[in-house]
Structure 1
Amino acid sequence: MNLYYLAAGVAATDAPVNEFGFFKAMEEGGPVAWSILTVMVIMSVGSFYILFTKLFEQNKVMRQYKSVKSAYWRAPSLKEGAAKLEKNSAWRQLADDAVTAQEHHGKMEGAGNEIHFVEEELAHSQDTINQSLNGGLSFLASVGATAPFIGLLGTVIGIYRALINIGISGSASIDKVAGPVGEALIMTAIGLLVAVPAVLAFNWLQSRNRRINALMTDFANDIVANIGSNGAIKPAVTAAPAAKAGAAKPATTTGGVRTPPAQS
């Protein structure tokens, strides 16, 4: 039994140690490899931060659009409708700017057509909102475009170091080139892992921004049509919530005679 444990201990002691892992390859690369890895990590963290913050912002804007469909156009005037929208929202900004444009046009002499003036103010307001929604997306585009090349820089340095080791030793044995080549491959993989999510996030967020921009354009056009028709033109609004079962219906008036509500 003692011989068995002794043999097992000797076997465990003599087991080969893996000298070609990730950290070993990074140690082979030295400060240059660690510097490139640090840049890659910063890029990756920044990309995911922008992805989640912009996704939250877009979802908030789309959720606020429901109040436009259900509450805004039920108000008797644009100013009263704007007061029903959530403050500091894109839709409230468009509604307030339309009301402000109307008021300013009435105070200006020779300002031209009111509809044209309101359209220009809404277009400017919409551009401002789009700039805010697109903020940070340029970082994603930059990461997607440059991360593979930064990884390629690490790859080139790793291959160069492998060639130097071959020249110094005079042989291309695996123990001389495994570390630098491993470092080169790791840098290539990291560059792709950072770039691909950034490109996908950029394209996805851009498509969602285009959808929001289309909704804002429709909203602005409805405001202009409402102003041009003196309130006669309004888009269809979301139906009011249905009354609960068993609730009494409101009384109606027919021919001046008040009819009591029907009982369920």
Structure 2
Amino acid sequence: MPSVLEAPIADVVTETELLVVWQQPSSRAMIPVGVLTFDGETYAFEYLPNVAHVAEFRPLLGFRDLAKRYESDELFPLFHERVMDPTRPDFVRVLDELSLDPASATPWEQLVRSGGSSEGDTLQVTPFPRESTEGWTCTALAAGVRYLAKKTVTTTAGQTRLYSDVELEALLDGLVPGQPLRVIAEVGNDYNADAQLFFTEHDEPVGYVPDWLAKLTAPCLHDGTSVRAVVDRVNGLSAGWHLRVLVTLQVGESFADLQSRLDAATHSY
């Protein structure tokens, strides 16, 4: 089975909004702080409401005014520096792992697919949750994939087992686009009380729901609102652990309620 499962490039260019997520130094929590948009001609950035109340947050480079909407004909430098330089020797390989055409992929497409960050970075972008027929949906990279090979995790459905590196690779290689995943809450996570994991139908853990997104879905899990997921894409080991699995969540909560929850989540930090 190929290590990279292709996704159509058309899926990329339809994304017009990216959520900008920042890591709080003290808690290491990933917190939504702004929205980056592109309509095909103009880039725009603006902060989320209540970002001024987020502890330890300082305005991002080039965006000093928390109340201003910034617009540009070119991708802002802060985000452009997170796009791969075509002269890098691994440029073709990395874009192939992102299911992009190295000859034609735009900086925006790279941001949508890669998140514009590397492991250890304090800033990343991710597709903004969007309205769906059932409520809302959001595409994100599974977090903490490598963690599953190092430690058991207790969830509301039981305890996971330790995976060897070989077993973990076999699990990831067995994932296919469109495969359904369950979202299950972790129990006793001192770092993040809202922590949740993606599981296959065979009760195998795939990775964590990103912290900022788990904060939005936690109330839905608690009150019985439908929270499901499907695999979008799987990359090989060379892509780096933070790019291994792309997942789409499907949540049966109204989009209006989600927007209120997102604002509240930002305000709570």
Instruction: Work out whether the TM-score is over 0.5.
Output: no
In the superposition, the TM-score normalised over structure 2's length comes to: 0.21
Higher helix share: 1
Higher strand share: 2
In the superposition, the TM-score normalised over structure 1's length comes to: 0.21
